[in-house]
Amino acid sequence: MAVDLTTQYLGLGLRNPLIVGASSLTLTADAIRRCEAAGAGAVVVKSLFEEQIRLDSADLQDAVADQSAWHAEVFEYMEADLGMRYGARDYLDIIRQARDSVDIPVIASINCVSDEWWCEFAQEVEAAGADALELNIALAPASLDVTGAELECQYERIVIKAREQVSLPLAVKLGPWFTSLPQTVLRLQRAGADGFVLFNRFYCPTIDPEKLEVVAASAFSSPAELSLPLRWISLFADRVAADFAGATGVHSGLDAVRLLLAGAHAVQVVSALYLNGLEHLQKMLDEITAWMEQKKHGAVKDFRGMLSQARNPDRELFGRLQYIKGLVGIE
């Protein structure tokens, strides 16, 4: 049987639910064209850091001298390669070139930690032709003095400022570490977010006991990490007036099916493509198609959200009962 893989995400029509997430796989217009040719339903252009925009907007020496608002790792990166001060202009060119040469949605991404420097640039991103904007908000508690409430207020301010600046569909890419993720999502949706990407995969350090150094752990996700976005998307789908994209741990077509069943509108893929090549996209699409044919689903909309909590209010699904079962083996 012929199946319909189309889906809607952020008000955009996608030919299939697979989005190539922000990464070096989407660094240039040529790379974006390769993603389209490989079967991607949409792309998120590699994130532009707020610090890069700041360098592009301020006098270079003043910007480099004023380190107070910079993350140490980003500053070291910038100091080593001051040519990145031109990155903001190049970023707009990439969006224009990609928008002129591909038929799939091109989503811009800004990695931000404040509501300054980058907001006016967001308007330029919209003018360059981006179909949507993904805010990759990289706020992480690094001080004993900052409260959770203060961090959440900063997230809200960023979304409000972005919503004031652009009319583009706005997605927020979040990490999972909030005291009350449901309240944070609702708060950001009311502030102007049209959708959410769950979840951001932050820098993962480990310790080398031989060299006595802190080093980076694996940059790639594993399928075991899928359970976190799966649980939360199932709880949010059809309860929050926003679209959700699953991210982290998506390595197969069946992983994508799992997220769609939970209620995701789309699925972002990165690690699986680094490990297997862009051709892996087609393999994933074939797996989704084969599953739909086996289950006799003619379109993605026929089964999206089938296993969400909203559609199964009397079942615990990903709630406490499953936690208890996992610990004590209750049947």
Looking at per-residue pLDDT, the higher value among 175 and 330 belongs to: 175
> Residue 16 domain-assigned?
yes
> Residue 112 domain-assigned?
yes
108: domain CATH number?
3.20.20.70
**Residue 329 burial (C-beta neighbours within 10 Å; 0-12, 13-18, 19+):** exposed
Q: How confident is the model at residue 99 (pLDDT cuts 50, 70, 90)?
A: very high
Please tell me the total count of domains within the chain: 1
Q: Vertex 188, ends 186 and 190: CA angle to 5°?
A: 70
Q: Is residue 79 within 8 Å of residue 9, measured between CB atoms?
A: no
The stretch 127-147 carries a mean pLDDT of 88
Distance CA 64, CA 175 (A): 29
Distance CA 55, CA 207 (A): 32
> Residue 270 domain-assigned?
yes
> Residue 206 domain-assigned?
yes
The stretch 98-113 carries a mean pLDDT of 94
pTM of the model: 0.87
> Residue 259 domain-assigned?
yes
For position 203, what pLDDT does the model report?
A: 64
Q: Which domain holds residue 245?
A: 7-328
For the beta carbon of residue 241, count every other beta carbon within 10 angstroms.
9
> Residue 1 domain-assigned?
no
> Residue 288 domain-assigned?
yes
State the distance between the two ends of the chain, measured CA to CA, in whole angstroms: 37
The stretch 77-88 carries a mean pLDDT of 47
> Residue 2 domain-assigned?
no
